[in-house]
Structure 1
Amino acid sequence: MIEFDTYRVEDDGRIVFSDQGLKELRPYFARAGIDIRSVRTYRDYLEARRRASPFFLDFLRDRIAKGKPSLERRALLAIVDGDDEVYERTLRQLMARQKLNVV
């Protein structure tokens, strides 16, 4: 058996998702039209990841955007969005904050 935070793979190849795995992966797979309940083996899981991969940046962006706004979150969103200008500006702000030891 192999175990991770989001799932475990039984010796016979069956995959069992943890509550965390269901919470995190259900919306990601759904973007590709995959019902996570149909993912029953590790092979199914790999295929679901492959099929969902074109939606990964959108999925990631949505996950980053949730939560309390912060400079770190802004920098991550700029990376995902490919916005170099916002990223560079935010990085400078983060570095200035670090120099001042402001958390």
Structure 2
Amino acid sequence: MEQTHSALCASVAASRHCGDPLADAVIAECDADPTLPRAWINQGITQGRASLTACPPALDALLHQANRPRRLSIHSTLRAVQMPGFQFPCSG
């Protein structure tokens, strides 16, 4: 069964969305309330949540997630990857 061009475009567009749900919520929050300063996003990311006197809920959640310590380092992740013939240069 052959799809029409517009149906195919709609299918591709729907399958391409794989963004970060918290980041998507921040954008939706800003779109819903145009009075929210978008500069808050940049300020919160570059200077931290404490630099904002007021913070919309979605941005607060995004900044909270971004400031959590990561459990895995890149070195432990790379060591776990099985690649024949490759020796991890920083063993130890």
Instruction: Give the alignment's TM-score, normalised by structure 2.
Output: 0.28
Structure whose residues are more often strand by fraction? 1
Instruction: Give the alignment's TM-score, normalised by structure 1.
Output: 0.26
Structure whose residues are more often helix by fraction? 1
